[in-house]
A and B are shown apart, each in its own frame.
Chain A
Amino acid sequence: MKNAIKKLFRGGLGQLTIPLVAIALLAIFNLIRDPGFFSIGIAHNSNGNAVLSGNIISIINGASELAILAIGMTLVTAACGGQDISVGAAAAIAGSVFVKVLKSASSINGGTVLLAFLLSCIVAMLFGAFNGTLVAVFKIQPMIATLILYTCGRSIAYWINGGATPTISNSILSAIGGFIPGIPLPTPVIIVVVMAILFKLLFHFTSLELFTQSVGINGGAARLNGINPTFIKLLSFVLLGACVSVAGCIGVSRLGLINHETLLLDIEMDAILAVAIGGNSLGGGRFKIIGSILGAYIIQTLTITLYAMKVSSTDVKAYKAIVIVLLVVIGSPVVKQRFTKFMTRLAENRKKVSAKGAEE
């Protein structure tokens, strides 16, 4: 039993230790604060569908865009050792394209929604390729390279629609952003699961994971083994572009409107944090997608917990920062090393004591 736990902490969990411990702590904290925090109920929404409701649902539903962006961000981080800070702005562009296509369609049906999504996906991937080219070909630091789109992205989003907050209301969109009739789980949650599975399949049917990690850890050596680091880095940005488009379209569908100034505002920082909390090194290299998704849920749990405690949302960011600093410091190699040392010393002492006991 003891060995099993030990093994779990040493090898089995590895980089997932921190996010899982964080989730457990948040859960315990909330249960003490309000035993009913995690209760799940069934409500009937205004369309008359039975849907699940409760804080857990709010958390996993609200974190959907963040989780999807965190998936892509993990790849970029792993391959390039840097982060894309333009995802929020790019999502605004993708969302605007999505709205533009739907607005110009004569009627909105499944086909036009799909077409709108595909077009927005292509546009987002092109912008991803733009970022990727700056990073992979011109060797510009990712944060600097993506600063360009970060700065101008929301203006581009504005140009696309020419108006400030165009709205579209349609049952298909509310099904995407809310609930599909008959399914009590919010659709964005289902989309996260689908995206996670798609990436899992991508890693299963290609050797992208191995190549990305190799490029991230030692690009020079990867090149000498025949990998094309430029291509891998570029690809990671294009895949992030796809994630951005999915997140943007969900964001638009939730409310049936696009506000290019506020759609997924500041989400890039949360996405980067999700990657870090998930135990992935921001310097690139080894990664676990599932860690980043957990990271996204942790951030959202934190936000919802603070809201539930009626902390003013101007203060929420400060509290969030405190918790995140703690998480990141605990996960840092220095603390890990000290902890391991401490544990070994503890074990030695115990051995000594038990040896003494045996002698006596």
Chain B
Amino acid sequence: MQEECLLTMRGIEKRFPGVLALNGVDFSLRKGEIHALMGENGAGKSTLIKVLTGVYQMDGGEIRLSGENIVIRSPEDAQNKGISTVYQEITLCPNLTVSENMFIGRKSGFVIRHKDREKRADEILKRLGIPARSTQLLGNCSLAVQQMVAIARAVDMQCKVLILDEPTSSLDDNEVQMLFKLMRDLRGQGVGIIFVTHFLEQVYEVSDRITVLRNGELVGEYLTEELPQVQLVSKMIGKELEELSNLGDSEDNRIMAQEVFYEAKGLSSTEAMPFDFSIRKGEVNGFTGLLGSGRSESVRAIFGADKVNGGTVTVKGKPVKITRPVEAMKHGIGYLAEDRKRDGIIADLSVRENIILALQVMNGIFKPISRSESEAFADEYIKALNIKTASRETPVGSLSGGNQQKVILARWLLTHPDYLILDEPTRGIDVGTKLEIQKLVLKLAEEGVSVTFISSEVEEMLRTCSRLIVMRDRHIVGELTGKDLNQTQVMKTIAGGEG
């Protein structure tokens, strides 16, 4: 190896109750390089970062920094050893000045000389080319500059390893370029940068090397220029390009005969870029793309979950206005949210109450579902979906993830929707339940219900969807049907570029 190895992690292991989050992962960072850490959600990226920054204690393996074996006990310890992290959310104080932020929480004498600090801060800002003054309130700077101040703070603390966790997700293109310039400068000064991101283009633009993780294991380390984008995607998702699986196109003909149930033109929300979308009666389609590509944001816009900014929507050919969830529900649309804990279950309420919730809302506040009726509904769906619960009055929070998901599915099925949006319905649940949910989706489609399905597992989507809408960097970049519905094509489209 011609470059000096700055940081080496060997055989890192991290266990959580019931899960092996990191299984013997190796990672090395050289002096003066930008190293992208890639992997789908749950691959172990953030666990690895947290081990490195002392948030978690590793259960096995060793970490060497500049050739010395080290143990990292806490985030503060990591910082003192020269490992600094800049997170996606700014963790500085917006109501303090730039210089105060740069020096806060660092060891110093009792006497603080503001003037000296401001002078020193200005020097660093100037050296790094950051457009900010030391006396400015941090909250008055743009997000990009705030991020850069956080970096400047790390640099001033003599950091050797700089970890940037999703630094670009809330920046616009210009700001991203400013950040990249700073990153390249720091690389020139010999700092090792670990870059975590979902944006493939950015990885290719700025990084020298890529390490890919999958399911808590190391897939491999590659030089960026030697790894084509399609290969990267396939390594992240874990399917070789050659592996093909196809769905018959007789399905397509059946669906094309049906009327269009929902159609949106130029629909946009505070979170989603304008897009066109439509679905026919009994059709199962899906949004695919890497995490952060905008697939969840798009379906949230359809349901009115975020503030809708523009676009026209028709349901069954009639123009309608859907700006709030309740309006979507009135038009027969149901939405199973991506984050089950945050947006799905009402943890302290019973299984029964969780199941009838959406139907009750549609009935309105003045037509309560009687106790006996609701018990009958709950029993029916507990049986139909094979929900494993001690009783229908058990708080839903105490159920396992898969069963919680079934409860939410039951909630929407009870409203007899015409169109059901399922965002990651199978995430984090056991294989058996996953298959049950897939079967259920296909059964619903046969009964004439339209379903939009989102999953991180492409294979699962190929098995259920007759049409795939591919998103990258918040835009729809392709639509795959019929013969194109295979892993290779999906990955090519996700990766885009020269492929």
Contacts and interface: CB of A to CB of B under 8 A. Distances in A.
Q: Would A and B touch once assembled, by the CB under 8 A criterion?
A: yes
Interface of A: 204-208, 210-211, 213-214, 217-218, 220-228, 285-286
B348 A217 contact: yes
Contact of B346 (A205, A206, A218, A226): A218
Nearest first, the 7 closest Cβ-Cβ pairs linking A and B are A226-B326, A226-B361, A207-B368, A226-B329, A217-B346, A217-B348, A226-B325
A277 to B, nearest CB: 19
A225 B358 CA distance: 6
Interface in B298-330: 303, 305, 324-326, 328-329
Nearest to A223: B325
Contacts of B345: 218, 221
Contacts of B206: none
Interface in B321-354: 324-326, 328-329, 335, 337, 342-349, 353
Nearest to B329: A226
Nearest to A215: B346
Nearest to A208: B365
Given A207-B369, A221-B343, A226 B362 contact: yes
A213 B348 contact: yes
B365 A211 contact: yes
B55 interface: no
B361 A227 contact: yes
B365 A207 contact: yes
A214 B350 CA distance: 11
Contacts of A225: 325, 329, 357-358, 361, 411
14 contacts: A207-B369, A210-B349, A210-B357, A214-B346, A217-B346, A217-B349, A221-B345, A223-B325, A224-B325, A226-B325, A226-B326, A226-B361, A227-B361, A286-B348
Contact of B305 (A207, A222, A224): A224
Nearest to B345: A221
A285 B325 contact: no
Interface residues of B, number: 31
Q: Tell me if A's interface is mostly helix, strand, loop or mixed.
A: helix
B110 interface: no
Of the candidates B303, B335, B343, B345, the one having the most CB atoms from chain A within 10 angstroms of its own CB is B343
B246 to A, nearest CB: 35
A210 B353 contact: yes
A139 to B, nearest CB: 15
A225 B353 CA distance: 13
Given A207-B368, A210-B357, A221 B362 contact: no
A213 B360 CA distance: 13
Contacts of A221: 337, 342-346
Contacts of B16: none
Contacts of A227: 326, 361
